[in-house]
Amino acid sequence: MAEVLLSENSVPLAGLSQLYRDPYKLVLDKKLQQSVKKAHSIVADAAKGNAAVYGVNTGFGKLAQTRISATDLATLQRNLILSHASGVGDLMPVTLTRLMMALKLISLTRGASGVSWDLILLLTNMLEKQVTPCVPAQGSVGASGDLAPLAHMAATMIGEGDAWYREEKLPAAQALQKAGLAPITLGPKEGLALINGTQFSTAYALAAWFDTWDIACAAIVTGALSTDAAMGSPAPFRAEIQSLRGHSGQIDVARTLRTLLEGSIIRETHREDDERVQDPYCLRCQPQVMGACFGLLRHVACVLETEANAVTDNPLVLTQTGEILSGGNFHAEPVAFAADQLALAIAEIGSIAQRRIAMLVDPAMSFGLPAFLSPSPGVNSGFMIAEVTSAALMSENKQKAAPCSVDSTPTSANQEDHVSMAAHAARRLTGMNDNLAHIIGIEWLIAAQGVELRAPLTTSPALQNTINALRLRVPGLKEDRLMAPDIATATTALRQGTLIKSVPAEIFPSPETPT
């Protein structure tokens, strides 16, 4: 099991990916204790003082003007968690809940939240011992943080609600006990520090980004495969064309396409007798469309990496000056915008891929391939309805790509009068990625079939490897058979990385924007 170190440095994108995808042990740098304990001491002093400090000795939201006596401060924090744990709907997947918990730890260990080191240790031990809160996925508007879902996380820490202990769902107090842990009594501001923040929305957006990046890389491969199946020209992918425009994403995608198509006999054999002057946009404009999508993905990665390492609760403790300041870092507008941009990229990747699918099954467009790629069309329908399925998924994603960030609604008696809707923006990405993966899985099936129908001509060695990887799981289509299992198998293999692992990893664009 790999170790992920939380230190004074930011956790990079690769580390965040590990927190989402791989078994890990979270290690806390001892140097973090100094700033955490200093901030906690400042909050403890404020709780004993006479001055009103929001969230320490006052109520919350619209109740911020209500002073709370010293004898009620522990009750104040407990009641905050219980009342705010108001989520509904399906539970968050365990992998996402654990990512959310890790992001909350990153924020708390920055030493600006005023929580105790014991609270940080409890959250760390819950991750290590696999105590995972049961968190309903609906209820946040991304306003004063992801209040409802984070409150369910915090509820487990005080022994309330339900939690998973490994794979067993139990009352939270029992789950903690089985793991050898005990519930914590929240001190001043600790409940507020736990539920203020963007970690729910950021976890969903980050997880979606990791999946989208892999599917986008796979879509470059299936795009190259479709180009060869259609006997498309590689000339639009030449470096000179891309450099005249200058966008790094476009340059990178074209380079990947050229590498994948290098050595193809199919196109070379038909170069002179091809009457087409230009290919359809879905082939010719792949560098421009996919390059723009990769540009968005790179921008979104930068935003989400920054947000994952940010302090987003309120109020914040400035250990340099001893001040406790109210602000608005909990507002999830950056995450909402990033998730909306990610949705646009997902929709566009699927849109251009679907047009390639439609072109290949159309005998009027596919340059000599049989109708619907069946060797015996007529009695056989071939990939006719697989293309229709891809169209349905494409349209669903286009509908889901409408921006969520512009849909604000006032809450909390108009105290929180402009909200981000980041949770909505991020949560819908999971389903969009599922749709996109199916579209690219269908293209993999159809493009491989198209290339094989060009025999005895052969594709490039790199693209032949992708066909071989598919054929280990799904045979070529000679006569009609139940199509759904083929689509499911191809899509599962794609999500497991089989397609992109069948070609050298170094040919793909890097998540970092070139300097």
Number of C-alpha atoms within 13 angstroms, CB side, residue 380? 17
In a domain, 219, yes or no: yes
Predicted local confidence at residue 432, as pLDDT: 98
β-strand partners of 88 = 138
Q: Last residue of some domain: 172, 197, 222?
A: 197
68 and 168, same domain (yes or no): yes
CATH label of the domain that carries residue 90: 1.10.275.10
In 3D, which of 86, 52, 49 has the Cα closest to residue 67?
52
- The rounded distance, in Å, linking the Cα atoms of 172 and 174 is 5
Domain count, the chain: 2
pLDDT score of 459 more than 90: yes
144 and 230, same domain (yes or no): no
Peptide bond into 461 cis (omega under 30): no
Q: Last residue of some domain: 197, 228, 256?
A: 197
350 and 208, same domain (yes or no): yes
Task: Residue 125: count other Cβ atoms within 10 Å of its Cβ.
Answer: 15
- The rounded distance, in Å, linking the Cα atoms of 194 and 55 is 12
Helix or strand holding residue 323 (H, E): strand 323-325
Most confident of 39-48, 103-112, 322-331: 103-112
In 3D, which of 353, 300, 343, 218 has the Cα closest to residue 511?
300
In a domain, 321, yes or no: no
* Dihedral class, residue 189 (left if φ above 0, else alpha if ψ from -120 to 50, else beta): left
∠ CA 24-30-32, rounded to 5°:
95
Read off the pLDDT of residues 252-299 as tens digits, 9 standing for 90 and up. 999 999 999 999 999 777 665 566 678 999 999 999 999 999 999 999
In a domain, 288, yes or no: yes
Lowest mean per-residue pLDDT among 87-96, 142-151, 433-442, 496-505: 142-151
Predicted local confidence at residue 420, as pLDDT: 85
Backbone angles phi, psi at 116, to 5 degrees: -80, 160
> What average pLDDT does the segment 113-130 reach?
96
In 3D, which of 402, 173, 203, 401 has the Cα closest to residue 307?
203
> What average pLDDT does the segment 372-381 reach?
95
pLDDT score of 91 more than 90: yes
Predicted local confidence at residue 468, as pLDDT: 98
255 and 380, same domain (yes or no): yes
In a domain, 322, yes or no: no
Predicted local confidence at residue 64, as pLDDT: 63
219 and 301, same domain (yes or no): yes
The verdict on whether 54 is a catalytic residue reads yes
Cβ contact 407:418 at 8 Å: no
Read off the pLDDT of residues 295-317 as tens digits, 9 standing for 90 and up. 999 999 999 999 999 999 999 99
| DSSP codes joined into one string, 374-437 | -SSBTTB-TTHHHHHHHHHHHHHHHHHTS-STT----BTTTTB-S---HHHHHHHHHHHHHHHH
Q: Last residue of some domain: 175, 197, 219?
A: 197
Residue of 20, 54, 165, 204 with catalytic role: 54
172 and 242, same domain (yes or no): no
In a domain, 323, yes or no: no
Q: What percent of the chain has pLDDT over 70?
A: 96
Task: Residue 123: count other Cβ atoms within 10 Å of its Cβ.
Answer: 24
Predicted local confidence at residue 62, as pLDDT: 62
284 and 337, same domain (yes or no): yes
Predicted local confidence at residue 105, as pLDDT: 97
pLDDT score of 57 more than 70: yes
pLDDT score of 482 more than 90: yes
In a domain, 68, yes or no: yes
Predicted local confidence at residue 287, as pLDDT: 98
pLDDT score of 72 more than 60: yes
135 and 233, same domain (yes or no): no
303 and 440, same domain (yes or no): yes
pLDDT score of 470 more than 70: yes
- The rounded distance, in Å, linking the Cα atoms of 64 and 402 is 35
pLDDT score of 119 more than 70: yes
Predicted local confidence at residue 56, as pLDDT: 81
Lowest mean per-residue pLDDT among 22-31, 84-93, 347-356, 503-512: 22-31
pTM of the model: 0.95
222 and 184, same domain (yes or no): no
Chain mean pLDDT for the chain: 93
CATH label of the domain that carries residue 386: 1.20.200.10
Backbone angles phi, psi at 58, to 5 degrees: -130, 170
In a domain, 279, yes or no: yes
Read off the pLDDT of residues 377-436 as tens digits, 9 standing for 90 and up. 999 999 999 999 999 999 999 999 999 999 878 777 667 767 888 999 999 999 999 999
Categorize the per-residue pLDDT at 450 as very low, low, confident or very high, splitting at 50, 70 and 90: very high
208 and 189, same domain (yes or no): no
- The rounded distance, in Å, linking the Cα atoms of 104 and 193 is 9
182 and 244, same domain (yes or no): no
pLDDT score of 61 more than 70: no
Domain interval for residue 44: 2-197
In a domain, 513, yes or no: no
Q: What percent of the chain has pLDDT over 90?
A: 83
